[in-house]
Amino acid sequence: MRRVAEGIEDRGDFVVDRIGQVLKSREPAVLWLDDADAVIDQLAAPLARWREQAVDLTAIVTSRRGLREVPHTIVALAPLPHEDAVRLLID
């Protein structure tokens, strides 16, 4: 069972690194992760790795909880009307 778990973890590392490579190839890049409440705690390590790989990466993460262990700026917004939310995304 341990070997299976290690294989899954290794695959996860591969996927995180591959995403970082793609982000680097598209620098400057903006990564938008919307409604990340359910995975916010698990995002800290991948985001740190992606920022190491793609130094010109801007990550926008929407969540009701803040990221831990990742340098970030918090901009608190109330729920936006659909048109305003689309305009913000495009801008």
pTM: 0.65
Say whether 59 sits in a helix, a strand or coil. Answer: strand
pLDDT profile of the chain (91 residues), mean per 10 = 47 85 91 86 87 89 76 75 85 78
pLDDT of the residue at 28: 93
pLDDT of the residue at 70: 65
